[in-house]
Chains A and B, each alone.
Chain A
Amino acid sequence: MTFLVIFLVVVVVCVLTLFAMYNKLIGLRNIVRNSWSQIDVQLKRRFDLIPNLVETAKGYMKHESETFIKVTEARAQAMSAINKGDVKEVGAAAANLDSALAKMMLTFENYPELKANQNFLALQEELTSTENKVAFARQAYNDAVMGYNNAVEMFPTNMVAAMFSFKQSDFFEIEDKAEKQAPKVTF
């Protein structure tokens, strides 16, 4: 009788810990998904800002059409990558857009009247901030992935992860590298 009770207690405790670990994994995975959607949101916001900025700048910069075309192309590329939803492809396309934008920003330097335009300044602040937001969303995503991957790999949650086939998530490219390439732009 006592043996049965002990056995039951052990079983109940085991099942409860199993539940807890499973829920923890689900929670971590949801954080990863949520952070990924944050990157999406910010990248899309940036895509919306670019045409505005290009339009404002075009009026002042008649001889830089090539730069504008490059930015527009990079934007289209990144947008299609996002629609596909592949982590690695989005990373590459975003880096591409970064460098195209950086070049455009550099050309702004030669147009003092442009830099005096209030509307342009506001757009620029928005763009800087959106760039930062993309970077921070990426960072938050990587932090979330790290937490989730740790749980998938480490004992004892790894057993539960294997049981319910939780897979590791991809990092949004190596953060360090991306940070170093980030456009250094002087407004």
Chain B
Amino acid sequence: MWELIRINKRKSLFVLILMFILMVSFAGAVGAGFYPENYLTGILWGAFIGVILWAVQAAVAYFAGDDIVLHFNMAVVVTPESYPQLYNIVEEMKIAAGLAVMPEIYIIESPGLNAFATGIRSEKTAICVTRGLVENLNRDEIQGVIAHEMSHILNRDVLFMTFAGVMLGTITMLSHVMLRGTAFTNSNNRRSRKKGGLPGGHPIVILIILLFAIVAPILARIFYFTISKKREYLADASAARLTRYPIGLASALEKIAKHSSVDFVSKITAPMFIVNPHFAGVDEDSLFSASTHPPIYKRIAILTQLQHGGKVSLENYQKLYEKELSTSGLFSKTTLESDKSEAVRAESTEKFTESRTDVADIILANTGFKIVTCECGLKIKLPPSDIRMKVVCPRCRKEVSVSGRSAAAAENDGDELVFRRKNKNSWESFPCQCGNFTFQLSPLFRGTYVVCKRCKTKVKIEYPE
């Protein structure tokens, strides 16, 4: 199985190569801008300097990146004595993944819930979790999170993302140099004085270069996020196969989504976390958004449905992935052929504790909220303004009917729908049977019929004596 997931990398590798080409050509263009006498020499020098810039950064990241990241996040190393359960869970997942080397474990002193993995070289890897995560999740949930991070290590995602990230950084840097080239060129470069500070050369060339400077970083961003999002789904699928218990990770993601913000995370390390620490709870779906992570509710929905389907296989994950995202292909055919295991395990005995939310629910119910519990255990909270009679569970995608909310209009009187007003001198509202429209009756309304704007149903209004 694991051998073949690596083959799936080819697609990511392809994007990575595209990104590299983009970087080199952009660097070449910048070079041409700064050396207008001979474009070829400029391009060659630019490309050379661009690659050197990238290589130096990549080398630093490769040899010291882990330590830098851990140091930045003020991570403390975990021993079997200090956090026996956490250590055991990581060891369990290490065994399940068949890793040769036990990753180091670190803890960040933050009440937020999050985790990330480092490990550019396979012989020195680390998993880092926040204290909040260890304290707020139960054993199954922590296991899911660790399995997700272990999958990143297993799939060598960190290596991928580091190189891609450094490329993104280089391109952004070059673009800055280009767009603010003024200072550079004016002070000590007599060649490019004529065009008001912009690098010299033929106007069309300058235009192309400037266009490049604007478009390249955007393109690089899109490439980067394409890779990073896909790798999250892959890690989720691998985690489900490692734990044989996708609901553990789903439930962990739900809790993490509520408090994933880690205060001192820099933007550079953000993509490494299990849930983006900067955009906690915000769903960003569009291609151009700066989101390094796929929308968390989609990940939860896939994992939950996977568990309820009863067959935890890569093939089923792929099916759900295609359904949720309406795109195709996460795994290659060979991967699916080679791994057809569908094993699931039962939940471990530790129970979920949700006492605090229970109190919050009571308060909500008193303020007119409708609370419906889905089969999967999710409590769906509908505000008073939401008058649907059926809602689709955001976690497991099942349709749940809202109890006690049969539309008032559905009181069938013969063939006619009738609504009896309780008090004709105040505002009254009731939902239509189609569930998509609310009738609002003003204190002055005295008509006999109202018509639903959506389904065109006619409802008779009766008045008290």
Residues of A participating in the B interface, judged by any CB pair closer than 8 Å: 31, 34-35, 38, 42, 122, 125-126, 128-129, 132-133, 135-137, 139-140, 142-144, 146-147, 150, 175-176, 179-180, 182, 184-187
* A129 interface neighbour in B92, B244, B344, Cβ under 8 Å: B92
Sample 30 A-B pairs with CB under 8 A, ordered by A number. Answer: A34-B98, A35-B98, A38-B95, A42-B95, A129-B89, A133-B88, A133-B95, A136-B92, A136-B93, A136-B95, A137-B95, A139-B244, A139-B343, A140-B96, A140-B98, A143-B1, A143-B2, A143-B98, A143-B341, A144-B98, A146-B1, A146-B339, A147-B338, A176-B342, A176-B344, A179-B345, A184-B349, A185-B349, A186-B349, A187-B349
Residue interface mask B340-355, A partner, CB < 8 A = 1: 0111111011000000
Q: Is the CB of B3 within 8 A of A179?
A: no
What is the CB-to-nearest-CB distance from B343 to chain A, in angstroms, rounded to a whole number? Answer: 5
Interface residues of B in 65-91 (CB under 8 A from A): 84-85, 88-89, 91
Residues of B participating in the A interface, judged by any CB pair closer than 8 Å: 1-3, 84-85, 88-89, 91-93, 95-98, 242, 244, 338-339, 341-346, 348-349
Q: Is the CB of A125 within 8 A of B346?
A: no
Q: Is the CB of B1 within 8 A of A139?
A: no
Q: For the complex, what is the distance from the CA of A144 to the CA of B1, rounded to whole Å?
A: 8
Q: For the complex, what is the distance from the CA of A25 to the CA of B84, rounded to whole Å?
A: 38
Given the known inter-chain contacts A129-B92, A140-B96, please indicate yes or no for A179 contacting B344, CB distance below 8 A: yes
What is the CB-to-nearest-CB distance from A32 to chain B, in angstroms, rounded to a whole number? Answer: 10
Extra pairs beyond A34-B98, A143-B2 (7, CB < 8 Å): A129-B85, A140-B98, A146-B341, A147-B338, A176-B343, A176-B344, A182-B345
Q: Is the CB of A179 within 8 A of B92?
A: no
Q: For the complex, what is the distance from the CA of A159 to the CA of B91, rounded to whole Å?
A: 38
What is the CB-to-nearest-CB distance from A186 to chain B, in angstroms, rounded to a whole number? Answer: 5
Q: For the complex, what is the distance from the CA of A136 to the CA of B345, rounded to whole Å?
A: 11
What is the CB-to-nearest-CB distance from B207 to chain A, in angstroms, rounded to a whole number? Answer: 52
Q: Is the CB of B338 within 8 A of A180?
A: no
Which residues of A are found within 8 Å of B91, using beta-carbon distances?
129, 133
Q: For residue A185, which residue of chain B has the nearest CB?
A: B349
